[in-house]
């Protein structure tokens, strides 16, 4: 049987040939690579492993699909355009404040759900036209949204990557609020002001308002926003009174919101809107299926272990470089996968440094995975909502913020113990 690193090379080779040369869809290319990998590993064609792996991300897939339908509903009912218009009218004279306010606004769903994709697709989609109206070019708008969504996913009170790492070392999710705020808020505000800095002049309202959707709020009143209020209540309600509110699941909450949206504003056909949005999301959902089988086969034939042992074996200074490169790379498949597969052993390997601060910092690296091709979930969906066909043009603008984020996280790991001392509680 082949050594794991040879199998990895073969799998990557098959993926590149399928995806780049033969133009096979990314998801199917990943599955083809998994099948060849299993063969090379002497496992034959392990149908059960391929199917089991394919189902790994069934929950995120359902959430992405339902969030897309919800956003289509908000857009069709006129709610989206009206919110953008309202934000602009009220904040156009203070563009810096507008950017800071929008950053926190975009982050919010990520902070309460721990999901970056749902964040891009909800508040990200609302903020996009506002940022465009400030004169910021589309790829940069998408970059701002993608970065905010990633920081939102990691920011407290709910940080799924951090919680997943905590589960791996049996550490309850308490005391993380301030370290996670330190890990995310300064970066979020700094990075976004940096990306928007050249456009923070006064906005010519006359020119801008003409480009926006008409104001449906005047015709439909507060009812227009009912779906958003309902979804927020259902998502937050579960958090506040977990024993009273039934756990509907995020996907169902979004679908309820989408259905309500058909009656609260401009009328539209929900079925055809849903069909359009699912078709848009299909490639990404396919990639998640492919990624699931890819990792399952990597584990099966021993590639996963080889990668982890290699990472842990790096000498101490190189270990920081190893974390900074390997965690985002692995996060290409999923930030959660990266937190679980590499985050946990790295967290254990930084023994002696405050594990809450280190765990918070490692979450940043895992989050950066959402910018890594081929999936680049945050970057890809952000490109989609601003109408930018080539998501690599978005990733160009997230490169510098990603490096700054990695340096910030390394700084937190190095200074973990002094930081832990000054953090109250």
Partner 1 sequence: MSIDRHRPLSIGISLLITAVLVVLSARSFQVQHRDEVLYPSDGLTRAFPLSEVNPHLAGTAGDTEVYVYEGSAPGGSVLVLGGTHPSEIAGYMAPVLMIETLHVEAGRVFIIPRANASAATHNEPQEAHPQHIVIETAGGSRSFRFGARFTNPVHQWPDPEVYVQPISGTTLAGVEIRNLNRAFPGIADGNLTERVAWAITELIRRESIDVSFDIHESSPEYPVINAIVASEVSQEIASFATISLQLDGWEFSLEPSPPNFHGLSHREWTDHTDTQPILLETANPAMGRLRGPTNAELAVLGQDDQYVKAAAIGAINVPFDEEGISIERRIARDLVAIGAIVEAFNMLNPERAILMGGWPEPAALMEDGLGRYLAPARDGTSPR
**What's the min distance (Å) between Cβ of 312 and partner 1?**
4
**What's the min distance (Å) between Cβ of 393 and partner 1?**
28
Nearer to partner 1, 167 or 215 (CB): 167
The residues that touch partner 1, with contacts defined as CB under 8 A, are 1, 4, 41, 47-53, 55-56, 59, 113-115, 158, 160, 163-164, 166-167, 169-170, 172-174, 238-239, 242-243, 247, 249-251, 292, 295-297, 299-302, 304-306, 308-309, 312-313, 337, 341, 344-345, 348-349
Nearer to partner 1, 52 or 214 (CB): 52
Report d(CA 89, CA 67) in Å as an integer. 27
Report d(CA 343, CA 346) in Å as an integer. 5
Q: Is 170 exposed, middle or buried (0-12, 13-18, 19+ CB in 10 A)?
A: exposed
CA-to-CA separations, 99 to 48, 185, 189, 190, in angstroms, rounded? 49, 13, 8, 10
Nearer to partner 1, 300 or 356 (CB): 300
Contacts of 1 (CB under 8 A, 6+ apart): 41, 42
**What's the min distance (Å) between Cβ of 298 and partner 1?**
8
Nearer to partner 1, 1 or 96 (CB): 1
Nearer to partner 1, 304 or 397 (CB): 304
Nearer to partner 1, 128 or 238 (CB): 238
Look-up of token digits 């004279």: 93
204: which DSSP letter?
-
**What's the min distance (Å) between Cβ of 361 and partner 1?**
18
Tokens of 401: 């913020």
Look-up of token digits 């799924």: 160
**What's the min distance (Å) between Cβ of 32 and partner 1?**
14
Tokens of 269: 């056909």
**What's the min distance (Å) between Cβ of 50 and partner 1?**
8
Report d(CA 282, CA 77) in Å as an integer. 23
């Amino acid at each position: 049987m082949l050594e794991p690193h040879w199998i990895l090379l073969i799998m990557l080779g098959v993926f590149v040939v399928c995806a780049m040369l033969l133009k096979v869809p990314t998801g199917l290319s990943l599955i083809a690579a998994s099948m060849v990998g299993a063969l090379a590993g002497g496992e034959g064609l392990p149908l059960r492993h391929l199917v089991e792996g394919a189902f790994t991300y069934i929950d995120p897939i359902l959430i992405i699909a339902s969030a897309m339908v919800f956003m289509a509903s908000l857009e069709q009912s006129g709610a989206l355009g009206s919110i953008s218009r309202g934000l602009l009218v009220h904040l156009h004279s203070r563009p810096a404040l507008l950017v800071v306010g929008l950053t926190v606004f975009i982050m919010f769903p990520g902070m309460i759900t721990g999901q970056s994709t749902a964040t891009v697709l909800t508040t990200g989609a609302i903020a996009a036209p506002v940022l465009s109206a400030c004169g910021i070019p589309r790829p940069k708008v998408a970059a701002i949204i993608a970065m905010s969504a990633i920081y939102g996913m990691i920011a407290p009170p709910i940080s799924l990557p951090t919680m997943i790492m905590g589960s791996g070392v049996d550490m309850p999710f308490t005391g993380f609020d301030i370290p996670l705020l330190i890990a995310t808020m300064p970066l979020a505000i700094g990075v976004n002001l940096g990306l928007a800095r050249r456009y923070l002049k006064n906005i010519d309202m006359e020119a801008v308002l003409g480009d926006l959707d008409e104001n449906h709020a005047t015709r439909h009143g507060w009812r227009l926003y009912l779906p958003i209020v309902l979804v927020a209540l259902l998502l937050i309600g579960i958090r506040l009174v977990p024993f009273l509110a039934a756990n509907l699941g995020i996907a169902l909450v979004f679908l309820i919101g989408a259905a309500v949206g058909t009656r609260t504003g401009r009328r539209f056909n929900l079925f055809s809107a849903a069909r359009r949005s699912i078709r848009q999301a299909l490639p990404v959902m396919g990639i998640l299926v492919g990624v699931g089988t890819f990792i399952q086969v990597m584990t099966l034939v021993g590639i996963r272990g080889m990668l982890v042992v290699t990472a842990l074996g790096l000498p101490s200074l190189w270990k920081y470089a190893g974390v900074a490169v390997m965690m985002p790379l692995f996060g290409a498949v999923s930030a959660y996968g990266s937190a679980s597969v590499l985050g946990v052993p790295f967290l254990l390997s930084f023994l002696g440094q405050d594990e809450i601060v280190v765990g918070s910092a490692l979450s940043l690296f895992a989050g950066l995975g959402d910018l890594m091709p081929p999936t680049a979930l945050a970057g890809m969906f952000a490109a989609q909502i601003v109408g930018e066909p080539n998501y690599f043009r978005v990733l160009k603008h997230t490169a510098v913020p990603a490096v700054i984020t990695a340096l910030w996280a390394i700084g937190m790991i190095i200074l973990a113990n002094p930081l832990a001392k000054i953090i109250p509680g």
